[in-house]
Amino acid sequence: MRLAVTLLLLLLVNPTCLAVDTPDEMLSDPALERKAQQIGQQLRCLVCQNESIEESSAPLARDLRHAVRQQLQQGHTAKEIRAWMVQRYGEFIRLRPAFSPATALLWLMPLLGLMVALLLACRFWYRPAPPPAPLTPEERRTLDSLLKKD
């Protein structure tokens, strides 16, 4: 039984998640390396698409990490590096796109969705109660007799 559980757990472990390599072009200056990693966390891997270039092990991500570090060594700022990447690869390279008329819908959809959900919830919870059904003639007679007793 233990062997079966162990084998099952080994099958569930994805060995590719352990294969992420660290950049071999790490900078000797820890401050610059930290800055390079921060910039890399903001840029999308164009191969993996849901990972940053710092997390991805794709060859293109490795090249982009190298380009970021090279530009930092040349004295470029983080803003200049991000602008260069956007100019070269388009707005899609940003993991968090800048707010612009082209991306306004992307940024406003969660807010609009929340507003619609709240509106529907309010309509559901605060709708007026339906009017009561009219009394049958027998119920009307019973009510009249009870009212006359008082």
Full DSSP string of 8-67: HHHHHS-GGGG-PPPPTT--SSHHHHHHHHHHHHTBB-TTTSSSBTTT--SHHHHHHHHH
pTM of the model: 0.57
Q: What top-level class would CATH report for the domain 20-97?
A: mainly alpha
- Look at residue 10 in the predicted model and tell me its pLDDT: 65
* pLDDT of amino acid 81: 94
Residue 113, pLDDT score = 95
6: confidence class by pLDDT, cuts 50, 70, 90? confident
What residue ranges do the domains of the chain occupy? Answer: 20-97
